[in-house]
């Protein structure tokens, strides 16, 4: 279950192992019918990549395995059954299994902060990236016609919460796109565009070494990004974001990259889970006391014998976990020795926008243009499928010579991000609120 890196690579490896074994049936269940290459998601938001070029149809990966484009509604571990539904108009499907791989990924966690879930844009899915891109363009279109300088300031202030990899890459791309887009709007001055990154930690990107994180911080600030460390979001409204320092920033756009939670489906399972809700597994990725149940990726707390801490839920881990699960299932069914999961990351990479990045590979550290070239080269190589590689390379080449377009697709501004009448009234109230700067 799950169409992310872990689930897809588990199913692909199972198919290779059992390709000529007619006694084995493999089924992959996912709400989306594509695999999203998440490292490139911020570049979709900034318009440097076409959205469809970083997704691959799941069906194209398989010859033997079946694919069900369905939502999992309930899992019964005792009877070994999964209940799914494609849509509200469809009936419920009852699937029985001998082995079940939990690779359901994670969802955005807003930590119950007042107003944040209602007013923030997450950066988790392809639609999130498209919504953000169109939100930025819509704000510029509105601001270009707005005569009130105070209202223009609200429209052109963009706040990103969370200074990890996702938040830092998102704020860098957002800044590049915002400053590039401004050239199309003659009534907007460069100093009217404000991009703010708020992060609760003492430094951004705690996943990398301190000197590279310091470089990234300096680079963002040189770009004009206002970085607030040891600061978080306390609440949000239609025209403001309140920080943990009790300061209120007047802004109509809040991007949320400050937390995820494992799939809520796991909460109903009768198995051990940690405080975050992840299923606790052993070194073979098996769920203790539940034979035939396996978990990986964001769903699982996987022990690391070397560090004593759980493995991080990254894409490079999930790919390898999927392969290990498949081989261990093969060992269970056909006899053989199961293999414990052990993996030391080759390195980490983070883009800082145009022509700049940070990279740490096998202990060697790089920053600036060379790190940016490494980032693009390595991720292009890892992108599934030759066709997608060619399309992304083409997008990047065109981006070198042509400005990013500012086409506003209304489809992505009339759903979760549309301003309701209530939001309009809230905004009207904040416009005259003396407590706001």
Q: Tell me, yes or no, whether 202 lies in a domain.
A: yes
Share of the chain above pLDDT 70, in %: 94
Give me the sign of the Cα torsion angle 31, 32, 35, 39: negative
Are both 207 and 354 inside the same structural domain?
Answer: yes
Confidence label for 394 from pLDDT (cuts 50, 70 and 90): very high
Are both 215 and 360 inside the same structural domain?
Answer: yes
pLDDT, average across residues 3-14: 96
Which tokens in the block code for residue 36? Answer: 């999203």
pLDDT of residue 436: 56
Q: Tell me, yes or no, whether 205 lies in a domain.
A: yes
Contact of 268 with 74, CB cutoff 8 Å: yes
Does residue 250 sit in helix, strand or coil?
strand
- Number of folded domains that form the chain: 2
Q: Tell me, yes or no, whether 383 lies in a domain.
A: yes
pLDDT of residue 90: 85
What pTM does this model have? 0.89
Mean per-residue pLDDT over the chain, rounded: 91
Name residue, tokens 């997450």.
122
Distance from C-alpha of 5 to C-alpha of 28, rounded to nearest angstrom: 12
Distance from C-alpha of 313 to C-alpha of 207, rounded to nearest angstrom: 12
The helix (run of H) or strand (run of E) holding residue 387 is helix 386-401
pLDDT, average across residues 31-60: 94
Are both 244 and 393 inside the same structural domain?
Answer: yes
pLDDT of residue 426: 53
161 Cβ contact partners less than 8 Å away, ≥ 6 residues apart: 120, 167, 198, 199, 232, 233, 241, 254, 255, 256, 257, 258
**Is 96's pLDDT higher than 90?**
yes
Least confident of 10-14, 296-300, 390-394, 433-437: 433-437
Task: Tell which residue, 316, 350, 356, has the closest CA to residue 163.
Answer: 350
Are both 98 and 135 inside the same structural domain?
Answer: no
Domain range for residue 265?
Answer: 5-31+70-108+261-334
The domain spanning residue 181 has which CATH number?
3.50.50.100
């Amino acid at each position: 279950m799950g169409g992310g890196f872990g689930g897809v690579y588990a199913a692909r490896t199972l198919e290779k192992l059992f390709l000529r074994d007619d006694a084995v049936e493999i089924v992959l269940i996912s709400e989306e019918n594509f695999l999203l290459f998440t490292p490139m998601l911020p570049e979709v938001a900034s318009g440097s990549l076409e959205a469809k070029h970083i997704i691959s149809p799941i069906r194209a990966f398989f010859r033997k395995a079946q694919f069900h484009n369905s939502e999992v509604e309930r899992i019964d571990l005792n009877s070994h059954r999964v209940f799914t539904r494609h849509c509200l108009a469809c009936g419920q499907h009852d699937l029985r299994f001998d082995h079940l791989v939990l690779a359901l990924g994670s969802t955005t966690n807003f930590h119950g902060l007042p107003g944040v879930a209602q007013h923030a844009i997450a950066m988790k899915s392809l639609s999130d990236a498209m919504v953000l891109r169109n939100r930025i363009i819509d704000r510029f279109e509105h601001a270009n016609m707005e005569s009130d300088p105070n209202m223009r300031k609200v429209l052109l202030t963009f706040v990103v919460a969370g200074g990890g990899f996702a938040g830092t890459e998102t704020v860098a791309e957002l800044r590049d796109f915002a400053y590039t887009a401004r050239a199309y709007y003659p009534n907007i001055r460069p100093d009217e565009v404000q991009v703010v990154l708020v992060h609760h930690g003492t430094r951004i990107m705690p996943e990398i070494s301190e000197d590279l994180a310091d470089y990234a911080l300096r680079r963002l600030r040189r770009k004009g990004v206002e970085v607030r460390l040891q600061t978080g979001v306390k609440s949000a409204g239609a025209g403001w974001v309140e920080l943990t320092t009790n300061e209120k920033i007047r802004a109509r756009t809040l991007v949320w990259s400050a937390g995820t939670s494992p799939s809520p489906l796991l909460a109903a399972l009768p198995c051990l889970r940690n405080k975050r809700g992840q299923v606790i597994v052993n070194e073979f990725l098996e769920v203790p006391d539940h034979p035939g149940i396996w978990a990986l990726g964001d769903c699982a707390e996987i022990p690391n014998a070397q560090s004593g801490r759980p493995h991080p839920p990254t894409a490079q881990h999930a790919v390898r976990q999927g392969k290990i699960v498949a081989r261990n299932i093969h060992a269970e069914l056909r006899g053989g020795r199961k293999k414990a999961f052990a993996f030391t990351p080759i390195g980490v990479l983070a883009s800082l926008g145009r022509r700049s990045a940070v990279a740490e590979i096998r202990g060697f550290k790089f920053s600036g243009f060379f790190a940016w070239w490494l980032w693009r080269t390595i991720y292009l190589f890892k992108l599934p499928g030759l066709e997608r590689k060619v399309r992304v390379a083409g997008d990047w080449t065109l981006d070198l010579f042509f400005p990013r377009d500012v086409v506003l697709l209304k489809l992505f501004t009339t759903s979760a991000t549309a301003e309701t009448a209530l939001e309009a009234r809230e905004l009207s109230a904040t416009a005259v609120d003396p407590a706001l700067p």
